[in-house]
Structure 1
Amino acid sequence: VGRLCAQKNYFFAIDIFSKIKKLKHNAVFWIIGIGPLEQKLKAYVEALDLKESVIFLGSRNDISDFYQGMDAFFLPSLYEGLGIVNIEAQASGLHCVVSDAMPKEVFATNLIEAHSLEASKDEWVNAFLEVADSNIKRKSSLSLLQQANFDIKQQAKNLEKYYLDALDDTRRIEK
């Protein structure tokens, strides 16, 4: 899930999926998003003979529904500002296998594990299969994310208080 750009490291992700597909013949890889690399990624998928297993879903407004259909979430980004999609995936109870380029703030639950982009592709495959094949019953991680300050309602209240306090300070200065 994300913009189809170099930052998200999709070619690496497709390489990992190609190895997974050899082990799990029924595996499917959903790519949700649009971006400048879309045509190159589609050509790469076709060249690897993965066209039937790698599904490009485009830009969507119903991503939370897709999280419910996933076995695991994979984001081997080269760098991230925050990686909101990791927060969303964790909120859905998904195990996440991500690069170690993720900021520490996204590690809000025990559902996320980071791996070095320097690790072998086989290590990435094994890590992904371990979480995807786990029979752990999924449950919402919303309360853990709220405790980690990822609650939009609470943050809206905090922001409102901040602005009201700033307004009060301005009024005091003007008097």
Structure 2
Amino acid sequence: MSKIKILHCPIGSMNIGGIENMIMQMYRTIDRDRFSFDFVVHDGEKNFYEDEIISLGGILHRVDFISKNPLRHIIDFFKLLKNNPDYKVIHIHTTYSIMFMDALLSKLLGRTVIIHSHNSSAPAKRSVVHKLFKQLQDLFCDYRFTCSDFAAQWMFPKRSQKSAIFWPNAMDLEHLKFSQVARRSVREELEANGKFIIGNVGRLSYQKNQTRLLEIYAEYSKINADSELWLVGDGPDRENLEEYSRMLNISSKVRFLGAKKNVSDYLSAMDLFILTSRYEGLPLSLIETQTSGLMTLAVRSGITEQVKCNSALKYVDDISEKKWAVLINRQREKNLDRFGMFEEMLNSNFNIYRWISKVEDIYECIARGEILNDK
């Protein structure tokens, strides 16, 4: 029996990011005797996952991104499909409808097209593009997948939203298990023993809205001077956030730690995680915090409840900074069983070793042209 060949078309390239991480989690775990993954990437530089992809038997095809060079993109993508007729399934991963041309070209050449929604909104310019091409993109789509209910509402027209199937951003959870050794090590390194540590992991950006988190922490620090805020991650808003922390007179209590490979160690070292994002598809950080058994408060607006798997995660409505401070202080009295939370997550579909058998079934059904249902 020949392999089912899937061509993955992420909106970016195969560098560090939520979409890319989800794809690689699948690629490492799927039965590679039955399924083949190749990739379209949009830059000439070596990708972060490139060596691993090649070691697993994959190929990276380089095609200019459509917004950078539309005509070149159309010609090269068309040639790629024309020269590789064995790519029967085209799995498009996107956050807005800029990928409509890839879907159109794929359908023209008789391929089966998947549109996979990975976010629930976009910045202003991308929102305009999305409104222009949302209906068109949907016309060239055979199967619709979504990381959350919000992401389905954003990506697909109303007529198609019910056909969108939830595809959890599953991952290998083992390395996220709470570690007392890591907690002690990180806290000693940062001289934070005995302090109440509030944390956030993510790109420092408009979407993640760490500005709001700084405002909340500024109020909380008045209640508990023996606390710190740790921001793990980097991004375009870093300088502005550092300046804002100085304006709020909390810069001595806020640590900008940059991007870290050992994020799980920092989660173990934290006492409370707060997510204040303006919008999310399905935040991987909340899968990570629940797996670590870390108390987590997330703003309700814009963050799906489909990510909630255990009692570590609680949603918060739009409240004032003072009410936030009181709420945070209450969390100090709680004592979660962090190891027990890990066991709960292992039994969820966010565990890649549970979910991957469903992925294999989905791809086999698609290759046969069968209708899917969300079960």
**Cα offsets for 1:46-80 (capped at 9, x unmatched):** 22222221000111111100011111110121211
Contact 2:345 2:351 in 1 (8 A): yes
Shifted more, 36-45 versus 75-84: the winner is: 75-84
In the other structure, the counterpart of 1:77 is 277
The one-letter code matched in structure 2 to 1:99 is V
1:1-175 alignment runs, 5 A limit: 1-101=201-301, 102-117=303-318, 119-167=319-367, 169=368
Query: Structure 1 residues 125-134 or 48-57, which shifts more?
Result: 125-134
Is the Cα contact below 8 Å between 2:293 and 2:336 reproduced in 1?
A: no
Specify the code of the residue in structure 2 equivalent to 1:89.
T
Counterpart CA distance in 2 for 1:106 and 1:21 is: 29
Structure-1 separation of matches of 2:254 and 2:343: 33
Do the aligned residues in 2 keep the contact of 1:149 with 1:155 (CA within 8 Å)? yes
Letter in 2 for 1:36: P
Which is greater in Rg?
2
How far is 1:133 from its partner? 3.8
Which amino acid in structure 2 is aligned with residue 105 of structure 1?
A: Q
Query: Is the CA contact 1:28–1:54 (under 8 Å) kept in the aligned structure 2?
Result: yes
Structure 2 residue matching 1:35: 3-state secondary structure: coil
Q: In structure 1, give the amino acid aligned to 2:205.
A: C
Q: Structure 2 unaligned runs (5+)?
A: 1-200, 370-375
CA RMSD of aligned residues (A): 1.7
Query: SS in structure 1 opposite 2:230?
Result: strand
Deviates more, 1:7-16 or 1:59-68: 7-16
CA distance in 2, matches of 1:159, 1:39: 41
- Richer in helix (by share): 1
Residue type at the aligned position of 1:14:
L
- What TM-score comes out, normalization by structure 2 length? 0.43
Q: Is the 8 A contact 2:223 2:325 kept in 1?
A: no
8 Å contact from structure 1 (residues 3, 33) kept in 2: yes
If each structure's strand is expressed as a fraction of its own residues, which one has the higher value?
2
> Which residue in 2 is equivalent to 1:173?
none
Aligned residues: 168
Distance in 2 (CA, whole Å) between partners of 1:135 and 1:144 is: 17
Residue 117 of structure 2 corresponds to: none
Q: Name the SS for the 2:346 alignment partner.
A: helix
What secondary structure is seen at the aligned counterpart in 1 of 2:256? strand
- Aligned-partner Cα distance in 1 for 2:260–2:340: 22
Partner Cα distance (1:108, 1:139) in 2? 14
Secondary structure of 1:155's counterpart equals helix
Native 8 Å contact 1:109 1:141 kept in 2: yes
Q: Distance in 2 between matches of 1:140 and 1:42?
A: 36
Secondary structure in 1 matching 2:234: coil
Question: Does structure 1 conserve the Cα–Cα contact (< 8 Å) formed by 2:312 and 2:336?
Answer: no
User: How many Å apart are 1:142 and its aligned residue?
Assistant: 2.6
Considering Cα pairs closer than 8 Å and 6+ residues apart, tell me whether 1 or 2 has the greater RCO.
Answer: 1
CA drift at 1:156: 2.2
Alignment CA distance shift 1:133-1:56 (3 Å): farther
Mark the runs of 5 or more structure 1 residues left unpaired by the alignment: 171-175
Q: 2: CA distance between counterparts of 1:38 and 1:150?
A: 30
- Pair 1:15–1:85, CA change in 2 (3 A): same
Task: Give every structure 1 segment of 4 or more consecutive aligned residues whose post-TM-superposition deviation is greater than 4 Å.
Answer: none
How far is the alpha carbon of 1:165 from its aligned partner? 4.4
1:137: how far off? 4.4
* Paired residue type of 1:93: G
